[in-house]
């Protein structure tokens, strides 16, 4: 393939907009989109999207349906994730509310105040902006987040015990008093939103981490009740993970890499794939949907006659086949997607997702799509530590990063080779996936024909030293208290001498999550050892791509590297 043709295909694919329904303001559906090449907020008026934010945004608060505005956060330091808070309304009018220039990890609001969790080098704390004044309310455990505020009550979650496999709910007030709530010691709990004096939350406490359900905590009495719905479709489906919008009684429920949409417990029929967001306006439910071979589509479901139509169709799709299976690795079943494009090459890429608490489900992934359009078979294992298969499975990697999860990835690779799906296999990932790529190349060097590592962790010890309070807390948690000897053992830099496969390293220069310095030291060691590698250091960019240009800077060097390293397969 000529480079011009490859570049054109990639550009068309990456430029195709994505849509994610995030809620509504004054009965106007609100979406996070990538129209016009940047991550932005848009509103749906009729069958047309209107963009209401100008510059790229990093995150937003859960919209309050009774209000006409929503707080958003922006990275104001060239990708370093030092944030400022802005407010935008339905007319597209916006102003800067506060400029704390710290890592903002979550944000919520009501009619009177905006609250957020912010992390500096020294601490993670709960902050509030009220009457134009910013103040710290109370310090929190490092890996904490909030989801809603209602008057004097602020809801969030975090690790408040010495058990790093549990998440507790907390209720804070504006004076800084914090109340920790859990229905059962050792359970995983995530609050959703307040409604009529109750805090709705998701918990696995009745199912020992195998799956979840929805509960309500009465703020006055302290009583916890199991939420019941009029219809039983949702309960019968026994989903492993859930999210709820209490205002609309809309639930998105996931199982085995697919999700379905329910209203008051009754299923709304949706295509194969995943519902990414939904909101109800009168008798209409608007939702966004995606698939590994179909970027994203906006649908409207009419509750009066149970009909569903496309509002805005997907602007990108790929011809191919999606298979889901579970590969045995000892006592663990590894949920795995195999995606085969119509123009298949005899080359497979083991694609390792980020996180580690992420997943590859039947949803569009731009990196996967970029591989598929160039003929690569993509094999995506959801190793232990992945989300969507029960919290017990997700938390199996606590104290074992780079151990059992790496074993799962390697086992899936061996399965693909045994079944002769492809004859040439490499490994690729971004963020935690980049870490797993470097570790796999060093610890299992004879398994791979090539590797691509983006925004990788090369040295856990140095990453900890360079991190702020939030990421120090994360590393302490996942290493079950910060076991430094284990951190060294599970760092790719410890195995760099073993690397055999050609390697492409892609690193944003301003990344504050997986900093560039340890990666550069890793590459310097590769150079000293005479290994075959290439390094792409991306200036003025951090961990998260906010624009089409950012995304292209990550994907283009990876695809060009793969084309060169696998060119023999074209003949």
pLDDT in tens, 489-510: 999 999 999 999 999 999 999 9
pLDDT at 556 over 70: yes
Provide the pLDDT for residue 568: 55
Secondary structure of residue 304 in the 3-state scheme: coil
Query: Positive or negative, the Cα torsion across 556, 560, 563, 565?
Result: negative
> What percentage of the chain exceeds 90 in pLDDT?
97
| Distance, CA of 255 to chain centre | 17
Check if 153 is active-site: no
Provide the pLDDT for residue 571: 41
Helices (H), 44-138: none
Which of 314, 511, 512, 550 does the annotation list as catalytic?
A: 511
Contacts of 4 (CB under 8 A, 6+ apart): none
Give the mean model confidence (pLDDT) for residues 501-526: 98
Distance between CA atoms of residues 256 and 23, nearest Å = 25
CA angle 35, 60, 141 (to 5 degrees): 140
Give the burial class of 422: count Cβ atoms within 10 A of its Cβ; 0-12 exposed, 13-18 middle, 19 or more buried.
Answer: buried
Which of 431, 469, 491, 512 does the annotation list as catalytic?
A: 431
Provide the pLDDT for residue 315: 83
Give the mean model confidence (pLDDT) for residues 261-290: 98
Mark residue 79 as left, alpha or beta (left: phi above 0; alpha: psi -120 to 50; beta: remaining).
left
Q: Which stretch of DSSP H or E encloses residue 405? A: helix 404-418
Q: Which stretch of DSSP H or E encloses residue 353? A: none
pLDDT at 2 over 80: no
Query: Positive or negative, the Cα torsion across 440, 444, 447, 448?
Result: positive
pTM across the whole model: 0.96
**What residues does CATH 3.40.50.1820 cover in the chain?**
320-570
DSSP-derived secondary structure letter, 63: P
Distance between CA atoms of residues 147 and 363, nearest Å = 24
Query: Positive or negative, the Cα torsion across 247, 387, 161, 104?
Result: negative
DSSP-derived secondary structure letter, 342: T
Residue with tokens 């609050």: 191
Contacts of 16 (CB under 8 A, 6+ apart): 295, 314, 315, 316
Check if 543 is active-site: yes
What are the structure tokens assigned to 16, written together?
């195709």
Distance between CA atoms of residues 129 and 139, nearest Å = 16
Q: Which residues pair with 428 in a beta bridge?
A: 351, 452
pLDDT band at 454 (very low <50, low <70, confident <90, very high): very high
pLDDT band at 123 (very low <50, low <70, confident <90, very high): very high
Higher per-residue confidence, 570 vs 130: 130
Which of 83, 289, 353, 543 does the annotation list as catalytic?
A: 543
According to CATH, the topology of domain 320-570 is: Rossmann fold (3.40.50)
pLDDT in tens, 161-211: 989 999 999 999 999 999 999 999 999 999 999 999 999 999 999 999 999
Is residue 326 within 8 A of residue 412, CB to CB? The reply is: no
Check if 301 is active-site: no
Provide the pLDDT for residue 569: 45
Distance between CA atoms of residues 6 and 320, nearest Å = 19
Distance between CA atoms of residues 1 and 47, nearest Å = 38
Provide the pLDDT for residue 1: 59
Mean pLDDT computed over every residue of the chain = 97
Provide the pLDDT for residue 122: 93
Is residue 486 within 8 A of residue 479, CB to CB? The reply is: yes
């Amino acid at each position: 393939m000529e480079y011009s043709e490859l570049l054109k295909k990639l550009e068309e694919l990456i430029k195709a907009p994505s849509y994610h329904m995030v809620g509504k303001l004054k009965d106007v559906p609100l979406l996070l989109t990538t129209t016009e090449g940047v991550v932005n907020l848009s509103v749906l008026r009729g069958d047309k999207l209107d963009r209401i934010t100008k510059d790229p945004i990093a995150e937003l608060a859960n919209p309050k349906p009774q209000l006409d505005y929503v707080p958003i956060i922006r990275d104001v330091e060239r990708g370093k994730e030092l944030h400022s808070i802005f407010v935008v309304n339905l007319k597209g009018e916006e102003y800067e509310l506060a400029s704390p220039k710290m890592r903002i990890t979550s944000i919520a609001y009501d009619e009177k105040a905006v609250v957020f969790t912010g992390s500096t080098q020294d601490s993670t704390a709960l902050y509030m902006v009220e009457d134009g004044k910013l103040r710290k309310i109370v310090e929190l455990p490092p890996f904490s987040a909030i989801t809603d505020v209602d008057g004097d009550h602020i809801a969030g979650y975090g690790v408040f015990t010495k058990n790093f496999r549990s998440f507790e709910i907390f209720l804070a007030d504006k004076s800084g008093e914090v109340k920790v709530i859990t229905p059962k010691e050792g359970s995983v709990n995530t609050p959703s939103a307040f409604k009529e004096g109750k805090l709705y939350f998701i918990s696995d406490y009745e199912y020992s981490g195998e799956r979840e359900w929805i509960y309500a905590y009465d703020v006055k009495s302290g009583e916890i009740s199991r939420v019941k719905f009029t219809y039983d479709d949702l309960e019968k489906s026994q989903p492993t993970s859930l999210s709820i919008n209490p205002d609309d009684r809309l639930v998105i429920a996931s199982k085995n890499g697919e999700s379905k949409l329910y209203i008051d417990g009754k299923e709304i029929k949706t295509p194969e794939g995943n519902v990414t967001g939904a909101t109800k306006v009168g008798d209409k439910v608007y939702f966004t949907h995606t698939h590994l071979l179909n970027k994203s589509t906006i649908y409207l479901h009419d509750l009066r006659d149970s009909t569903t139509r496309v509002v805005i169709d997907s602007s990108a799709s790929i011809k191919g086949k999606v298979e889901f299976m579970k590969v045995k690795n000892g006592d663990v079943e590894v949920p795995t997607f195999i995606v085969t494009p119509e123009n298949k090459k005899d080359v497979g890429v083991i694609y390792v997702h980020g996180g580690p608490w992420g997943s590859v489900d039947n949803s569009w992934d731009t990196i996967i799509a970029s591989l598929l359009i160039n003929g690569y078979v993509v094999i995506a294992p959801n190793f232990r530590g992945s989300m969507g298969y029960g919290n017990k499975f997700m938390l199996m990697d606590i104290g074992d990063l780079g151990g059992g999860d790496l074993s799962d990835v390697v086992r899936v690779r061996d399965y693909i080779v045994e079944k002769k799906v492809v004859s040439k296999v490499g490994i690729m990932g971004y963020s935690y996936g980049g870490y797993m790529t470097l570790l796999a190349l060093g610890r299992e060097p004879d398994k791979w024909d090539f590797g691509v590592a983006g925004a990788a962790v090369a040295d856990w010890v140095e990453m900890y030293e360079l991190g702020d309070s939030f990421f120090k807390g994360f590393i302490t948690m996942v290493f079950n208290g910060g076991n430094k000897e284990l951190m060294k053992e599970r760092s790719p830099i410890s195995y760099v001498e073993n690397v055999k496969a050609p390697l492409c390293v892609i690193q944003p220069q301003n990344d504050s999550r997986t900093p560039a310095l340890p990666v550069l030291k890793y590459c310097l060691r590769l150079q000293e050892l005479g290994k075959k590698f290439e390094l792409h250091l991306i200036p003025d960019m951090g961990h998260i791509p906010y624009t089409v240009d950012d995304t292209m800077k990550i994907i283009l060097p990876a695809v060009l590297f793969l084309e060169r390293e696998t060119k023999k397969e074209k003949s």
